[in-house]
Amino acid sequence: MPEPLINLTIKKIMDLMTKIISLCKRRGFVFPSSEIYGGFSAVYDLGPYGVELANNIKKEWWKVMVQEREDIVGLDSAIFMHPKIWEASGHVSGFADPLTECKKCNGRLRVDHLLEGINIFADEKMTEEEINQLFDKHKGEIKCPNCGKNDWTKVKKFSLLVKANLGNFTDDWSRDPVYLRGETCQGIYVNYLNVLDSNRVKIPFGIAQIGKAFRNEITARQFIFRTIEFEQMEMQYFCSPAQEMEEYEKLRQNRWQYYLNLGISEKNLKWHKHENLVFYAKEAYDIEYNFPFGFKELEGIHARGNYDLSQHGKFSGVILDYADPKTKKKYIPHIIESSVGVGRTMLAVLTEAFNEEQVKEGEIRTVLKFPARLAPIKAAVFPLLGNKPELAEKARNIFNDLKKVFQVEFDDSGNIGKRYRRQDEIGTLYCITIDFESLEKNTVTVRDRDTMQQERVNITELKQFLTDKITKASSY
Ligand code: ATP
């Protein structure tokens, strides 16, 4: 096994981030939005390998959260919802970030982030007035990260909700706005009764959903870590007041284990306990990942009490009580939630997988060592020489056979070394080469991405060989 060239923990932060961003663009994982028009800030498009990786991440999450659970069902609610939902949830009045502007370079920055940089932690519940006072006290110590100057405007709270003019045929956007959802879980809460009435579910049970969310983020500058349009994977678990904390502990343990099973090393994960809880919350933890720019939130796991259903009960006028089938006692279910972004998971998986190795004197290979289930391409099929019809035909037959089961690629261009390097950079697990011996003995060489070792495998056994390798891969 080749030695890693550089120990990532001591690498320069931006160096690694720049390399990941550049690889993502070069190889078709992530593209900046609207690039031919000069770009569109904080929005990204997924390229051919990016969409495969994202789909594999979502498949994995769904498998663990829904398929393998008898007590959790899936949902796909719409992005547009009744605007009152966002009043009930508190988003219209409270979903706002504190913003300041650097008077020198006009850079807009989040005040809570600037304060965090000098180890002052603002409370989420603070009013504009309170956060202004706190910022006034400390702003002399804070330099603008863009231009290094120290001249700030007053703090303003800036709503994160994105408005749409749906059904509004006037030019006044502020009138009766409809919102693009700021989080997917509200769609779960308002369907709680539908799921209860139409499915054989009993408390405790969960509803899981994957979908887009939109936020007017002020500082969205960390690639796919923070974007204004993103995809969330959320699971809301409904339980009795007495079950809440026990179920919460179970959920925390499950989610930690999930990341280890995803091939994330434990040293790169950390719990962060929220000290300043919103008034209704019982407990809140984030799982943080060691991104190239440091430990930051990957997932939130919160015990939310009965706030969400109480609010929707109040605002809709519909009774959302649950009647316990045994005791007949009625109560408003309490909710624990797990909430994570697809983009943030992708960035964690890419950071974890990114390796540079010295293969020979003066030769470095870049390889994405994705766990088998997440790898966008499972195998690439190469005829040794592209211009030999008998090799090409045999390779095509193998490719056509494998593509029914796995995501595979065919490549007959350039020398074999170049083809290997390209596949290493996109994290393909195996490269299968059809050579002259293949014509005589019906065998191929299979090269392992991580060890670069090759072995000969009979073509009739190839599908089973790959299935065994992929399902038994050690990191899974
Ligand atoms: P942050 O403090 O980083 O802004 P948050 O606490 O507001 O995040 P939540 O509202 O708890 O985030 O959202 C749950 C999850 O959704 C986050 O853990 C993250 O994985 C993802 N997420 C939230 N905002 C964004 C965003 N703007 N871009 C990408 N992913 C996001």
Amino acid 101: pLDDT: 86
Place of tokens 């065998």: 443
Take atom 10 of ligand 1 and give the residue whose Cα is closest: 183
DSSP assigned state of 152:
B
Q: Report phi then psi at 435, rounded to 5.
A: -120, -170
Report the SS3 class of residue 325: coil
Q: Which ligand 1 atom is nearest residue 228's CA?
A: 27
Per-residue pLDDT tens digits of the chain, which is 476 residues long: 444 444 444 445 569 999 999 999 999 999 999 999 999 989 999 999 999 999 999 999 999 999 999 999 999 999 999 999 999 999 998 888 888 988 888 888 889 888 988 888 887 777 888 888 889 899 888 988 888 888 898 888 888 899 988 877 777 766 778 999 999 999 999 999 999 999 989 999 999 999 999 999 877 678 999 999 999 999 999 999 999 999 999 999 999 999 999 999 999 999 999 988 888 899 999 999 999 999 999 999 999 999 999 999 999 999 999 999 899 999 999 999 999 999 999 999 999 999 999 988 888 999 999 999 999 999 999 999 878 889 999 999 999 999 999 999 999 998 999 999 999 999 999 999 999 999 999 999 999 999 999 999 999 999 999 999 888 754 43
Amino acid 475: pLDDT: 42
| Cβ-contact 97, 112 below 8 angstroms | yes
Amino acid 474: pLDDT: 44
Place of tokens 């997988």: 353
Containing 337, the helix (H) or strand (E) segment is strand 334-341
Both structure tokens of 141:
């110590």
CATH number of 96-159: 3.30.40.230
Amino acid 14: pLDDT: 60
The amino acid sitting at 72 is I
For ligand 1, the distance from its centroid to the CA atom of residue 216, given in whole angstroms, is 12
For ligand 1, the distance from its centroid to the CA atom of residue 115, given in whole angstroms, is 19
Question: What is this structure's pTM?
Answer: 0.90
Q: In whole angstroms, give the CA distance from residue 427 to residue 29.
A: 11
Q: Are strands 294-303 and 283-291 parallel, antiparallel or unpaired?
A: antiparallel
Take atom 23 of ligand 1 and give the residue whose Cα is closest: 341
Which residues on neighbouring strands pair with residue 334, listed in sequence order?
A: 239
Amino acid 9: pLDDT: 44
The CATH label, of 3.30.365.10, 3.40.50.300, 3.30.390.50, 3.40.50.800, for the domain at 377-474 is 3.40.50.800
Give yes or no on whether 96-159 and 377-474 have one common fold.
no
Q: In whole angstroms, give the CA distance from residue 455 to residue 321.
A: 62
| Cβ-contact 100, 114 below 8 angstroms | yes
Q: In whole angstroms, give the CA distance from residue 323 to residue 332.
A: 9
| Cβ-contact 44, 230 below 8 angstroms | no
Per-domain residue ranges of the chain: 27-78+166-360, 96-159, 377-474
CA dist list (Å): 46 to 53, 54, 221, 248: 9, 8, 17, 34
Q: Which ligand 1 atom is nearest residue 225's CA?
A: 29
Amino acid 221: pLDDT: 74
| Cβ-contact 238, 206 below 8 angstroms | yes
**Ligand 1 lining (C-beta closer than 6 Å):** 183, 215, 217, 226-227, 230, 232, 297-300, 339-341, 343-344
Amino acid 278: pLDDT: 84
| 85-89 LR contacts (CB < 8 Å, sep 24+) | 85/186, 85/190, 85/312, 85/315, 86/161, 86/179, 86/182, 86/186, 87/315, 88/311, 88/312, 88/314, 88/315, 88/316, 89/186, 89/308, 89/311
The CATH label, of 3.40.50.720, 1.10.3720.10, 3.30.930.10, 3.40.718.10, for the domain at 27-78+166-360 is 3.30.930.10
State whether the Cα torsion 183-185-186-191 is positive or negative: positive
Place of tokens 């010295």: 358
Take atom 1 of ligand 1 and give the residue whose Cα is closest: 297
For ligand 1, the distance from its centroid to the CA atom of residue 341, given in whole angstroms, is 7
